[in-house]
Structure 1
Amino acid sequence: MRRTSLHDCPAPAKLNLFLHVNGRRADGYHLLQTVFQMVDHGDLLHFDLRADERIVRTTDVPGVPEQGDLIVRALLLLQAAYARRHGHPPQGIDVAIDKRLPMGGGLGGGSSDAATALMAANALWEAGFSREELMALALPLGADIPFFIFGQTAFAEGVGEALLPVEAPDCWYVVIEPGVAVPTAAIFCSEHLTRDTKPVRITDFSRHTMNRTDSTGFGKNDLQAVAVSLFPPVAQAIDWLSAHGDARMTGSGACVFCAFSSEAEADTVLQQVPGIWRAWKAKALMHHPLNTVLQVSAVIE
């Protein structure tokens, strides 16, 4: 029997275990290298098919108008692709969001929401698009979205779209939200951003993390120096968390994380985080949890 709804669909956060800027293309896009790591903390999305063809976000998201929301834009793209393939548009969808991830946090919240929406709608509509097709469809909306559809820990290059699966330690993280939203454009446009980090190989990362119980110590985040100079709360969070390990910023900020080999270690640090910040712990995810809900293979060859 065909499903008409999918509720409690996870949209997990991601961490950049390192983030190097290797150069800049003629079109202004930066050449990056990173390892994307999903964690078991994020938003929850709920989808219900409609009787008409409209895509409707039923939850208000402060600061994000409905038609500018990546979720809505992604679903409209998939709806149009479905119509081209099948000769008619699919049913519309109501989308509700339990929002937990902060905007401007470097956790990929909006991108993760959009990826979850594409995977869920593909299933509800029985659209038949492959994972690779969904990734290609999503790329123009943002380079992080294909990673979440890829659905596993990944070594990424280019503008973030060239993905290879990679193993990373099965560890725990403490994440601090410094309470500021960092606009990505402000970081990448800064004249102080270094853009000449020497490229690394996926084997360099794999050798470093082999036999480790956490993900610390490899590379750096090239965007961090710019973010801490522009946003002092980010610097303060890094300084505090650095007393407990290799603390660094994720993405273009603002959130800061540190890896721990056990949940007990993460709990000990979490209990000490000053009350001026929101903080939480999360476990590394090897695969996207929505794959289990949708009974989709979690491996891309």
Structure 2
Amino acid sequence: MSRRLAALLILLLLIAGTAGGAWWYARAAWTAPGPLAQPAQVVVPRGGMTAIAEALAERGVIADPRAFLAAAWLTRGEGALRAAEFTFPAGASLRDVFEVLRNARPVQRRLTIPEGLTARQIAAVLERAEGLTGEMPEVSEGAILPETYAYQWGDTRAAVVRRATAAMEAALAEIWAARAPNLPIQTPREALILASIVERETGKAEERALVAGVFVNRLRRGMMLQSDPTAAYAAADGGVLERPLTRADLDRDHPFNTYRIRGLPPAPIASPGRDALRAVTRPEATEFVYFVADGTGGHAFARTLEEHNRNVARWREVERQRNGSGTR
């Protein structure tokens, strides 16, 4: 047994105020199970040894802050105690507690940003994320890649935004490099814009490339995209429309309303995921130029306006039966 450990055991003995059986009692105080009934994640604060001892005692990890402080002083040569979020095992002894504080990996939290959120919605997700700190930086629409990101307690929102922005830039560059030839979109930025529309148009993974193919056909023919999500984005002034679209929304002059403009809007309307980016850079070859909701969560596609009008009539009947209103 090292001299330092022996001194620690004697000091623990003195703290405990025990007389008989001193040596074995002190040794047990270092290795005996602690009071923690089940594993727990605990945020170990900055502010020195006393702050750490108080936090661990409050969470029931240690029984006696004085014994902890004595052990910290006597083992100070074995490494600094880190401020972070750690998982402590049930019944952790003082020896276990110091092993965690010096050598364990901090808890890895996870933050999921779903596909199709607007910049405002993403900001709200980051604001609510437990353990993140700092002000929320301004985020450009479509700049963040929807994904699950690991972080530690105390990381800043700005740091997560930088990682998510770099992830989008890397994904877009990779997917653009593998694009199909002769697309009617000329730049990665245009691919990002179109992918954001596709992402908002369909929640079915198997439809993305087909929806992208319809929009590619429209762009090639010089047709308006006439995408409801762009009209909704315009009607909500860059937010999320909480009501059905109206005829007035579709007729509104706005740079994002593709019922009123030809071609793509000036910027994305949401953050598309990798699959939507792949869909617009490698769209499905199709003759379809129209689509409308079919009442099942998917869409009915058409080659001609006549066929499309029949699909629209069926969709309106579904909406009437549901006491809803509004169509594409």
TM-score over 0.5 for the alignment? Answer: no
Using structure 2 for the length normalisation, give the TM-score.
0.21
State the structure with more CA Rg.
Answer: 2
- Judging by fraction of residues, say which structure has more helix: 2
Question: Whose relative contact order is higher, 1 or 2, with alpha carbons under 8 Å and at least 6 apart?
Answer: 1
